[in-house]
Chains A and B, each alone.
Chain A
């Protein structure tokens, strides 16, 4: 498997993602500068966290216009795997690759701490090694993670099984108290309708080694590795998420 980590001016989790793929997963990985456009060699792209373009205007709003994003769209249209983490999620929302938008955290603070998320569906390329309802301990670090989408579109997300992760407590109970940022329906991560693009606010690359307090992030990366190995050679892999 070969992973491309997209680097925007202001990305700051690119090295963590690179490190996890290379040193923990032992897979091939390269950085992709935002002005590049050749992505054919990759099986999976990661849009990392950070503050692309200083979060000017809105988080992710400017990165959407970078050259590489056109290629990311084409890459995703082929059914290949794209993961947006934190700011990467915000970029995917602003570019329309995922539905919805991010508001400022309900408590107006930048929140940086471990949270729990519940795996809503394990029939995705990103969660196939998890149990349905499994609770993952993953850190968040963001100012705009208050996910919003119109009510009618939220119903669509639910019926299409696009909600991948929801904030919950240690026992897996989803409640207002376990919602760190005010996100609608406690949404921490969603996929596109086809299921090959994931956006998530928590940082799996920050919890992929036991020394860091949790290895739950590895489940997500290893799920992707497994899914790609199973679909190797298939030019238009079909993802069955329903």
Chain B
């Protein structure tokens, strides 16, 4: 089994109203020196695959087709092999 952690965020060129609202809230809290706040999503996926390469290409495909909208969002991800409950690597 593999686990993938996918990060999806709005492209830097796209304005992020949610991030801006959080930035204002932080400033209202009295936090100073905040340059920028950008919000995003983390998607954690557990998947079965023959190899790590296969898992990576599957996740890449998921990102392109569904998890991110390429017009407004960028994505990145990491895939790791997961130990099962008995501690034996599959």
Q: Of A57, A94, A100, A104, which contacts B18 at CB under 8 A?
A: A104
B17 sits at the interface (CB 8 A): yes
B88 sits at the interface (CB 8 A): no
Q: Provide the bound-state CA to CA distance between A185 and B21, in Å.
A: 23
In chain A, what residue has the closest Cβ to B21? Answer: A108
Q: Which residues of A contact B55 (CB under 8 A)?
A: none
A58 sits at the interface (CB 8 A): yes
In chain B, what residue has the closest Cβ to A65? Answer: B66
- B71 to A149, Cβ gap below 8 A? yes
Scan residues 68-118 of chain A and give those whose CB is less than 8 A from a CB of chain B: 94, 100-101, 103-108
Q: Provide the bound-state CA to CA distance between A149 and B13, in Å.
A: 11
- A57 to B72, Cβ gap below 8 A? no
B10 sits at the interface (CB 8 A): yes
Count of A-B residue pairs with CB < 8 Å: 34
B69 sits at the interface (CB 8 A): yes
A127 sits at the interface (CB 8 A): no
- B67 to A101, Cβ gap below 8 A? no
In chain A, what residue has the closest Cβ to B43? Answer: A57
A148 sits at the interface (CB 8 A): yes
- A103 to B15, Cβ gap below 8 A? yes
Q: 1/0 contact trace for B36-59 toward A, CB 8 Å?
A: 000000000000000000000000
Q: Of B17, B67, B71, B72, which contacts A107 at CB under 8 A?
A: B17
B29 sits at the interface (CB 8 A): no
B14 sits at the interface (CB 8 A): yes
Q: Provide the bound-state CA to CA distance between A168 and B66, in Å.
A: 34
Nearest CB of chain B from residue A230's CB, rounded to whole Å: 35
- B15 to A106, Cβ gap below 8 A? yes
Nearest CB of chain A from residue B69's CB, rounded to whole Å: 5
A182 sits at the interface (CB 8 A): yes
Q: 1/0 contact trace for B1-25 toward A, CB 8 Å?
A: 0000000001000110110110000
Chain B positions within 8 Å of A, measured between CB atoms, are 10, 14-15, 17-18, 20-21, 66-67, 69, 71-72
- 12 example contacts (A-B, Cβ-Cβ < 8 A) are as follows A57-B66, A61-B69, A65-B66, A101-B71, A103-B10, A103-B14, A104-B18, A107-B17, A108-B17, A108-B18, A148-B71, A182-B17
Closest 7 CB pairs of A and B: A101-B71, A101-B72, A108-B21, A108-B17, A104-B17, A106-B17, A101-B69
Known: A65-B66, A101-B72, A106-B15. 11 other contacts (CB 8 A): A57-B67, A58-B69, A101-B69, A104-B17, A106-B17, A107-B17, A108-B18, A108-B20, A108-B21, A146-B17, A148-B14
